Structure formats: C-alpha cells, structure tokens
Structure 1
Amino acid sequence: MEYVIKELLHPEEDDEANFIYSELDSQRRETRRVEFYPSGMCFAYGGDMGQDEVLNPAPFPEDLRTLNRPGEVEVRAIPRQLFIEVWNQAQERPDGFMGMFY
C-alpha cells in the first residue's frame, strides 16, 4: 500500500475538499479516502465505511509530481501511520477536520 495527500491550496468553492488523503493498492488505485473541507466537515470512503463507488477508479501516476499545479494543487506521498491517524480521526470525530486540533 501507498499513501498520498492531495492539497488544494485555494479551493474555489466551500463544497470542494481542500485535503484528500488516499490509500493506494498495488495497482495505485484508491482503496480508502478521507476528504476534509474548509467548513470543517470530513468524509471517509472505502474500507469499513463502504461507498467504494466514490473512490477514483483511475490509478494514480507513479510520479505524483505530474499531478501538481504550482500555487493550486500539491500531491505528495505520506507515511502509512499518518494516513491511519487521519482515517481513525475521521471515524471518531463527528466534528470533522477542525476537531483534530482541539
């Protein structure tokens, strides 16, 4: 498994996630995802949360830098433990992303 974060540096809409954490399988396809929104809401998909149809069926590229758009979008690999912490927080906290800081 590999783990990535996609950060939208300046989301255009409040209903656009500004942080997306993804777990990728050996074919680089999403198996789990957590989305955080500027409003503080968060949603988890895949794994025990179900809703696998929401996951992106297209594989992520080997070189994540090809997804970057300077000043707009940054995609990078993250450690497994960070993804697990974020995944667990999304399960435990109904108050979303901001609740991770209190």
Structure 2
Amino acid sequence: MKYLKVKWEHSFKDQPILLYSELDHELREIRKVEYYADGRIDFADRGGSSGHTRLSVEPLPSLEAIAAQAEFEPMIIPAAEFETVWAQAKVT
C-alpha cells in the first residue's frame, strides 16, 4: 500500500483543498479523505462515501506527474497519518 497526501491550491469553493488516498500496487484508490476550506471532511471507500467524494475509477497518475501540475503538492505519507485522518473523517 501507498499513502498519498495532496495539497490543491485553487479558488473553487466546492472542491477539496487537501486529499488523502490509500492506494494499491496499481495506484488505484482504496480509501480517500477530502478536506474542504469550510472545514467539511468527506470520505470514500469501496463500501460507500459521504458528500461528493468518490474513489477514482482509473489508477492515479505517478507522484511526478501530479507534482508537474503547479496547483498540486503531492507527498507520500506514513500509513499511521492516513489512518488518523480516516478515523477523523469517519466520525464527522
């Protein structure tokens, strides 16, 4: 498993500013958490979702491809960090 955190710099009020993804070996999302500027937190996994958050149908691009887009700041994170945000999303 890989765990990805992506900061997204934009001015869209209805889009998340921080995305966390748990990825399998093919870079397909297994679980996702999205944070919004207004404080909202949504999540998705194979069993369901909240808000407008959904798992990507296609594998995610490589870390380098994501980083090549100026508005995105991706980073690999430890599993424990992902589990912390996942737990927070599930109780909100």
TM exceeds 0.5?
Answer: yes
**How far apart, CA to CA, are the structure 2 residues paired with 1:5 and 1:32?**
12
Gaps of 5+ in 2: none
Query: Match for 1:89: what amino acid?
Result: Q
Please give the secondary structure, in 1, of the residue aligned with 2:84.
helix
TM-score, with length taken from structure 2: 0.85
- Give the conservation status (yes or no) of the 8 Å contact 1:25–1:31: yes
TM-score, with length taken from structure 1: 0.77
Report the CA distance between 1:67 and its aligned residue. 0.8
Query: Match for 2:86: what amino acid?
Result: W
- Equivalent positions of 1:81-100 (< 5 A) are 81-92=80-91, 94=92
Higher fraction of helix: 1
Gaps of 5+ in 1: 95-102
**Alpha-carbon RMSD:** 1.7
Q: What percent identity do the matched residue pairs reach?
A: 33
**How far apart, CA to CA, are the structure 2 residues paired with 1:85 and 1:47?**
19
| Deviation by residue 1:65-97 (Cα, 9 ceiling, x = unmatched) | 211223x211121111000000001112x2xxx
Please give the secondary structure, in 1, of the residue aligned with 2:38.
coil
**How far apart, CA to CA, are the structure 2 residues paired with 1:54 and 1:91?**
15
Report the CA distance between 1:60 and its aligned residue. 2.2
Please tell me whether Structure 1 or Structure 2 has the larger radius of gyration of its CA atoms. Answer: 1
Report the CA distance between 1:47 and its aligned residue. 4.8
Q: Number of residues paired by the alignment?
A: 88
**How far apart, CA to CA, are the structure 2 residues paired with 1:55 and 1:31?**
7
- Equivalent positions of 1:1-102 (< 5 A) are 1-9=1-9, 11-47=10-46, 50-51=48-49, 54-61=54-61, 63-68=62-67, 69-70=69-70, 72-92=71-91, 94=92
